[in-house]
Amino acid sequence: MNRAVSNLRARHVARLGSFCASSSSSSSPASEAWDGRFRLHKPRGQHLLTNPRVLDAIARHAALRPGDAVLEVGPGTGNLTARLLASPAARVSAVEIDPRMVDAVTARASALNLAHKLTVILGDAVETDFPEFDVCVANIPYGISSPLIAKLLFGTYRFRTATLLLQKEFARRLVAKPGDSEYNRLAANVHMVAETRLLMDVSKRDFVPMPRVDSSLVEIRPRVDMPEADLAEWLAFTRECFGQKNKTLGAIFKQKRKILELFKRSHRTKRCADDAPGRGVILGVLDDDNDEACSDDDGNDDNGRSDVVAGFNKEDVGAFKERIANALESTELAGKRPSQLSNDELLRLLRLLNERGVWFQ
Ligand code: SAH
């Protein structure tokens, strides 16, 4: 074990002692403290949560009910798993990528005499199909936050809540409201299908080894009353809007390249109204925005013909551009930035654009 980890561990064990003296944390034969039996891999997000009070609080917030099937992602050595197994939940399925951790969490459950409630699946949580679950509770590796939440919310899973420990900044974006500086495509897309709630902040000092970032616990609750919308179309629309979230919608939809791209998409020979978003699309829908510059050059050579633009009839493209401008005008959204708008406002604009033959996917 390297010295940094060893020092951290010594400090942490000392702190755990004082926590245990004053807390009524669930008693478990195996301690939360990390015994250094193998090397933890930071690139795999292997930062174990070792503060029993925080672990208890996460289990409490998850509000597990008798009979619940729980999904945990990245159980590690089982500090949180032990609480989930001791809860009224009927069973816990844990997906873990590291075989050493699989062994550790399995041994932990056996030591607690709760192995019969646990199924450990060795695999990458982004790729592996999950078994059915009612509630997801996890301190996940932060590197997979976006694809994992996208998989949970835009896949085929039906569940009551996901209570996730996430990097603090990411959590702030997830619960941001329109007009907040953190509000972006992630928040808009998640809020389309779920409600989010910040439950508590967790210090980086509660982990071994200590990460560079603080964390926050967030509850994600899928909506029962989803707005009527074609999800794939919505996701493609928000990609266009939030790709340049600091520009006004008027400026975004005036760009020649964008108009031509939308014109092409809108005139595909065969539109499938209920095209479900593909797996690649799903995992990418919550990527962070990049305020990419969009050149106005269409990059096409029309051989000097004045009636053609990028191979299309100039008049048709002009009329298409007009339809977009009119939709923005009639909704009075041309001067607004996407990050200031509620999903209802954005959805109203999308519907109007669709009605006028403007499609985004
Ligand atoms: N939940 C534990 C461990 C958190 S560390 C605790 O709170 O102490 C993150 C865990 O996720 C590690 O065990 C790591 O091996 C695992 N992990 C990392 N990437 C993963 C992936 N793509 N799929 C599943 N597990 C992963």
Is 240 annotated to bind ligand? Answer: no
Question: How far, in Å, CA of 264 to CA of 27, rounded?
Answer: 63
* H-helix or E-strand spanning residue 252: helix 249-252
Q: Can you give the pLDDT at residue 59?
A: 98
pTM: 0.84
Question: How far, in Å, CA of 119 to CA of 95, rounded?
Answer: 9
Q: What is the extent of the structural domain holding 116?
A: 2-222
Asked if residue 3 has pLDDT above 70, the reply is no
Sheet holding 161-167, edge to edge: 118-122, 91-96, 69-73, 135-139, 161-167, 215-222, 194-202
Return the best residue to mutate from 28, 41, 44 for the ligand 1 pocket (most ligand atoms within 8 A of CB).
Answer: 44
pLDDT band at 226 (very low <50, low <70, confident <90, very high): confident
Q: Can you give the pLDDT at residue 309?
A: 72
- Ligand 1 pocket, 80 CB below 6 A? yes
pLDDT tens per residue across span 165-219: 999 999 999 999 999 999 999 999 999 999 999 999 999 999 999 999 999 999 9
pLDDT tens per residue across span 300-315: 445 556 666 767 788 8
Residue 200 in domain: yes
Asked if residue 21 has pLDDT above 50, the reply is no
- Ligand 1 pocket, 166 CB below 6 A? no
- Closest listed residue to residue 151, CA positions, set 118, 193, 182: 193
Are 210 and 307 contacting, i.e. CB atoms less than 8 angstroms apart? Answer: no
User: Do residue 246 and residue 196 come from a single domain?
Assistant: no
Q: What is the DSSP string of 287-318?
A: PPP------S------TT-TTEETTEEHHHHH
Average pLDDT, rounded, for the chain: 85
Residue 293 in domain: yes
pLDDT tens per residue across span 22-56: 233 344 446 788 988 899 999 999 999 999 999 99
Q: Which two tokens stand for residue 112?
A: 């607690």
pLDDT band at 253 (very low <50, low <70, confident <90, very high): very high
Residue 360 in domain: no
- Ligand 1 pocket, 127 CB below 6 A? no
The residue out of 193, 222, 251 marking a domain boundary is 222
Q: Can you give the pLDDT at residue 13?
A: 30
Asked if residue 227 has pLDDT above 80, the reply is yes
Return the best residue to mutate from 55, 92, 97 for the ligand 1 pocket (most ligand atoms within 8 A of CB).
Answer: 97
* b/e code 251-289 from CB counts within 10 Å (16+ = b): ebbbbbebbbbbbeebeeeeeeeeeebeeebbbebbeeb
Residue 38, amino acid: F
For atom 3 of ligand 1, the residue with the nearest CA is 76
Asked if residue 113 has pLDDT above 50, the reply is yes
User: Do residue 16 and residue 160 come from a single domain?
Assistant: yes
Q: Can you give the pLDDT at residue 5?
A: 33
Dihedral sign for Cα atoms in the order 313, 315, 321, 323 = negative
User: Do residue 239 and residue 316 come from a single domain?
Assistant: yes
Q: Which two tokens stand for residue 202?
A: 């967790």
- What is the 101 CA–ligand 1 centroid distance (Å)? 8
Residue 302 in domain: yes
pLDDT tens per residue across span 144-154: 999 999 999 99
Residue 69 in domain: yes
Asked if residue 294 has pLDDT above 50, the reply is no
Residue 361 in domain: no
Question: How far, in Å, CA of 53 to CA of 263, rounded?
Answer: 56
Question: How far, in Å, CA of 200 to CA of 179, rounded?
Answer: 22
Q: Can you give the pLDDT at residue 228?
A: 86
Mean pLDDT of 315-337: 93
CA angle, 16 then 19 then 24, to 5°? 125
User: Do residue 218 and residue 261 come from a single domain?
Assistant: no
Mean pLDDT of 57-64: 98
Q: Can you give the pLDDT at residue 314?
A: 86
Among 12-26, 233-247, 293-307, 320-334, whose mean pLDDT is lowest? Answer: 12-26
Question: How far, in Å, CA of 350 to CA of 188, rounded?
Answer: 14
Distance of CA 1 to the CA centre of its chain: 34
Asked if residue 136 has pLDDT above 60, the reply is yes
